Chains A and B, each alone.
Chain A
C-alpha cells in the first residue's frame, strides 16, 4: 500500500526542473485562420493590464486588421535582419529579448524554421532558451506541425508540412485549443480572412475541406486532452496521490533503412505516450547492413535521429539476424511492447529468408508485438544498388573461367587414366571454389560453364553441345545444385565472419580505449589520452573542454595546438549547458566546423568533446555514432574514477596533514614550554642574586628555544613548498666551519673532528640549506652521542659522489629504523633516547637535502658504536677541475 503512495522521483524531478524556468503556453489550432495569434495577443494585453511586463518577440499579422489592432500598445522587440542569398530575412532577435528580459514574451509560429546561420535552426529552440532564462512564453502552433501527428495529418490531408515541433516541447506547455467550428472557418476563408501563402494555395484548398477540418479539430482537441492527462499524471505522481499506473512498461521499436520506419517511430511514440512508458528505437545490424548504400545509411540515421528527437533512446545492435537481435534486445531491455513494420518484401524474399515477423512472434516471450503496415512505398533505387554487390567483380568471373579451363586441360590429360564419368567429378572443384570465394552468381556461372565444357570437350560427340544422354542432363543439374548450396553456405560463413570481425573490431577498439585510459594516472593525462584516442579512431581533430565558472575551458586537444574561436566556444557552451550535442551535424549552431558532444557523468555534464574533420566535413559518420557514444560513456566513467581517486588522495593528504598538525601541537606545547619554564624560573632566581651558572642555563635554554623555532620555521617553509633554491659554489670547509661555529652551545664542549681532504672540490649547493642540514646533524650528534665523546665530520670523495658524514659515538640506530629516523616527529624509542627534541631536525635534513638533489642515509656504526648520517653530493653538483690557474 505504501508503495503506491511513494512519489515517483522522475516526476518530481520534472516538476523541480520547471522551477525557475519560464512557463510555456501554446495556443493550439486545428488549421490556419482559427485565430490563434489574435487570441494570444488578446491574452497578452490582458496580462499587461494586470501589470505584467509583456513584450512581443515576433508576431505575423499577415496584414489582418483586427490582429494589427491588437499589437498596438504592446512593446515590440525589433527583429534582427539576416542576410540570406540576397534576401533580407527578419527573424526574432533572441539576444535582444534575453537582454530585455521581460516577464512574458509573445512568440508567434512555434514551428517556424529560422534563417540559415541563426543560432538555432528552429524557433522552438529559441523558445526553449527563453524559457531556460526564466522568461514566460506564449506561442502558437497548428496541429499538423506536431511531430508525432505529422504522418496522421498527412495521411488524410495529403499535405505534408516540413516544419515540425517535437512533442516534448508541448509536454511541458499549457495548451489552449483555439477552436471554431469547421463551417465558420470555411466561411472566414471565403471572406479572405485567412492568410494563405500563394504558392501553396491550391493544395490548401483541398486542405480546407470540411472533413479535413473536422478531423484536424478532433486531433487538436485530443492532443490537448492528452497533454492535460500527462500533466495531471505528473502532478499525481509527484505528489503520490493514490492511483494506479501501468508500471514497468517499455516500448521498443525496430527501425530499418526503409522509409516507412519514420512512421513506425511516430507510432511507437504515440504508444509510449499512451502507456507513459519509456521507449527505445533499435536498429539491428545484420550482415546485410554492410551493403547499404549511402542513401540508405542516411535514411537510417535520420530515422534514429527522429526517434531521439521524439524522446526515445536509440541503439544499434549487431546480430546475425533481425529476429535474433530483436529477441535478445527486447529481453535485455525488459521490453513489454515491440513495434515492428509489416514486411514489404516480396513473397520470394520471405520464402528464402523467412519472415522476420513470423519468426519473432513465434520465438519472442512475454512481449506484445505490434505489426504496423508500411505507410509509403519503398524507394526502388536502393534495392538495385544493393544487388550490384552480389554480382561481384568482373575479375572473379575471369578467375572462375580460368579454373574451368584448367580443369578441362587436366581432364584431357587424365582421360587416359580415369573413366569419362569420373571426369565430371573434377568439374565440381572449380564450381565449389568459385561459389565459396566469389558468391552465388559466380558459382552458378561456373556451374554452367563447367557443364558446357564437359559437354563440349568430353561427352561424345565431342566438339558439339548436343546432349544425347539423360545422365548428362543430371550432371548439369548437379553442378548447378552444388553451386547454389556451396555459395549459400559460404555466404553465410562470410557474413558471420564479417559480423564477428566487426564486433571484435568494435570490442577491441573499446578495450584499447579503456586500456589507454587506465594507463593515465592524472586527470590531465587522461583528458589528453581521450582526445588522442578519439582523434585517432575517428580520424578527426579532437578537443576536450571542462566546465568552469568562466564557461567551458579548453583542457586537452589533439593535435595539441588547436584553439577555438567564438562560434565553437558558443557551441561547446551550449552542449555543456543543455547536455545535448551542438555544432556541425547537430541541430544547434550548425555553422560551427566542430561537433561537440557532452560527456555525461553521474552528476551531469563533466566535459564536452569536440570533433572536427580536417576537410571540414561531417565529423562523425552516422554509423559511427554508437561507437562514439560508447567511447564517451567509457570516458565519463574513467574521468569520474580519476576525479574520485584524486579526491581520495586529497582526503589522505588532509588526514596526514591533520596527524602532523596534532603531532606538531603536542610537540610545540612540550618543547616550547620546557625551555620557557627554565628561563622563567631562572630569571626569577637571578633577581635574588647573580650566579654565572644561572646565566649559563638561561643562555643554553634560550639557544634551545631559538634552535627549535628555527626548525619550525624551516619545516613550515618545506611544507609550504616555499623553498627557493640558491645553488651556488660552496666550499665544504666554509660550510662545516660555520655549522660547527653555530652549534658550539649544543655540542656542550664536545670535540669536533673535521676530516676533509684539502683538495676536496667545491660543490654546488644552497649554502643556507646545507648549513641547516649540518647544524641539525651536529645538534643531533650532540644530543644522542655519549658524553665526552667526539663528533666527527668527514668528507670522502668517491668516484661519483662526495659523502659528507656526521658521526657520533653512542647507542646508534637500531637495525631496521634507518629510514624511519627521517620521518617527521619520529623519536626512536629506547631508554636513553627520550631526550628533548622536536623530531623535526632529521626530517628537515632529509627535506632540505633532497630539495638540493642530495641523498641522505643513516646507519648504525659498530666500531666504535654510534650513528653515522651521510649526505651524498652527486657528481653533477661537484665542481671538479677548478684551480686557481684557470681563473680569468
Chain B
C-alpha cells in the first residue's frame, strides 16, 4: 500500500498554483492550495500537510512572518518558493525555521527533487538512521566513521562536525550559522572564513576533484548542502 503524501501550496498567483499542482500530480502527490495567509493557516490546521510550499509575497501578510507561525502550528516541512533573491532574505527564512529555499523562476524537476529530499528527511527523522550514503561516501553516525569507496577517511573532529551537520539533513541547505553553532558552540562571533577552510579540507579528502566539488554544494552567501546524488556536469 502506497501512502500518498500531501502538500500545501501557498501562493497568490493561480498560474503558479496550477503549475505546481500539475507537477505534483505527475509525481503522484496530493496537493491542497491557499492563496493568502489566513487561508494558509486554516488549511494547515485542517489538512496537516507533510510539506508546505510557501510564497513570501502574499497579499495579506509578509511570508517571512508566516515562517515561524507555520513551524509552530504544525510539524510540516517548509520549503520557501519565492521570487525574492536577496541573500539576506533567504538566510532569514532558513534561520527562522524554513527547511529549504527555492528561487523563482525554478524548473519543476528541481522542485520535485527538493520535495523528494524533504520527504526522505522526514522519514529518516521519524525512523532515525545510523548511516548516510552520498555517492561513494558513507557516513556512520554511531561509529563516527567516514569512508570513501570503502576506505576510511581520517577527519579531524571539526571536519567531522561540519559533515555531520550536512549529513543529518542531506540534500537540504544548512546555513552557515546552523553549522557554526554546532561546530563552534562557544564562539559568539562566527567567522565564515574558518568554515570555508574546513569545507576546503573536507572536499580535498572526500571529493574526486576538489576543484570541481560535487558532493558538498555551496549556496551563495547562505550555506552548504550535501548532495546525495552528486550531479554531473
Interface positions of A from 728 to 751, Cβ below 8 Å from B: 728-731, 733-734, 737-738, 744
Residue of A nearest to B159 (CB): A884
Task: Judge whether A733 and B210 touch: CB under 8 Å.
Answer: yes
Task: Judge whether A767 and B198 touch: CB under 8 Å.
Answer: no
**A629 CA / B88 CA spacing, docked (Å):** 57
Task: Judge whether A762 and B197 touch: CB under 8 Å.
Answer: yes
Residue in A733, A762, A771 whose beta carbon sits within 8 Å of that of B211 in the complex:
A733
Most buried by A among B156, B200, B201: B200
Interface positions of A from 871 to 888, Cβ below 8 Å from B: 879, 882-884, 887-888
Please choose the segment from B1-9, B32-40, B163-171, B188-196 that sits at the chain A interface, where 4 or more of its residues have CB less than 8 A away.
Answer: B188-196
Q: Does A835 contact B (CB under 8 A)?
A: no
Question: Given the interface contacts A738-B220, A754-B212, A768-B220, does A884 sit within 8 Å of B198 by beta carbon?
Answer: yes
Q: Does A429 contact B (CB under 8 A)?
A: no
- Write 23 A-B pairs (CB below 8 A) sorted by A numbering: A706-B105, A726-B88, A726-B221, A729-B192, A729-B193, A729-B196, A731-B218, A733-B212, A734-B196, A737-B213, A754-B211, A756-B211, A758-B211, A762-B196, A764-B193, A767-B87, A882-B193, A882-B197, A887-B158, A887-B198, A888-B184, A888-B187, A888-B194
Q: Does B119 contact A (CB under 8 A)?
A: no
**A588 CA / B91 CA spacing, docked (Å):** 63
Residue in A726, A731, A771 whose beta carbon sits within 8 Å of that of B199 in the complex:
A731
Residue of B nearest to A728 (CB): B192
Task: Judge whether B220 and A771 touch: CB under 8 Å.
Answer: yes
**A883 CA / B204 CA spacing, docked (Å):** 13
Interface residue count for B (Cβ, 8 Å)? 27
**Closest chain A CB from B23 CB (angstroms):** 15
Interface positions of A from 852 to 888, Cβ below 8 Å from B: 879, 882-884, 887-888
**A724 CA / B89 CA spacing, docked (Å):** 13
Which residues of chain A have C-beta atoms less than 8 A from B201's C-beta?
A: 884
Which residues of chain A have C-beta atoms less than 8 A from B184's C-beta?
A: 888
Interface class of chain A by DSSP: mixed
Interface residue count for A (Cβ, 8 Å)? 28
**Closest chain A CB from B105 CB (angstroms):** 6
Q: Could you list 12 further interchain pairs (A-B, Cβ under 8 angstroms) beyond the known A731-B199, A737-B212, A888-B194?
A: A726-B88, A729-B191, A729-B196, A731-B200, A733-B211, A756-B211, A762-B193, A762-B197, A767-B220, A882-B193, A884-B156, A887-B158
Residue of A nearest to B195 (CB): A729
Task: Judge whether A738 and B218 touch: CB under 8 Å.
Answer: yes
**A730 CA / B210 CA spacing, docked (Å):** 16
Which residues of chain B have C-beta atoms less than 8 A from A771's C-beta?
A: 220
Residue of A nearest to B176 (CB): A728
**A749 CA / B148 CA spacing, docked (Å):** 30
**A724 CA / B86 CA spacing, docked (Å):** 10
**Closest chain B CB from A879 CB (angstroms):** 6
Question: Given the interface contacts A767-B87, A884-B156, does A728 sit within 8 Å of B221 by beta carbon?
Answer: yes
Task: Judge whether A879 and B193 touch: CB under 8 Å.
Answer: yes
**A767 CA / B223 CA spacing, docked (Å):** 11
**A771 CA / B221 CA spacing, docked (Å):** 10
**Closest chain B CB from A767 CB (angstroms):** 4
Most buried by A among B184, B192, B193: B193
Per-residue CB contact flags for chain B residues 47-80 toward chain A (1 = under 8 Å, else 0) read 0000000000000000000000000000000000
Which residues of chain B have C-beta atoms less than 8 A from A702's C-beta?
A: 105
**A756 CA / B196 CA spacing, docked (Å):** 16
Which residues of chain B have C-beta atoms less than 8 A from A706's C-beta?
A: 105
Residue of B nearest to A770 (CB): B220
**Closest chain A CB from B43 CB (angstroms):** 30
Which residues of chain A have C-beta atoms less than 8 A from B198's C-beta?
A: 884, 887
**Closest chain A CB from B132 CB (angstroms):** 22
**A888 CA / B194 CA spacing, docked (Å):** 8
**A730 CA / B193 CA spacing, docked (Å):** 7
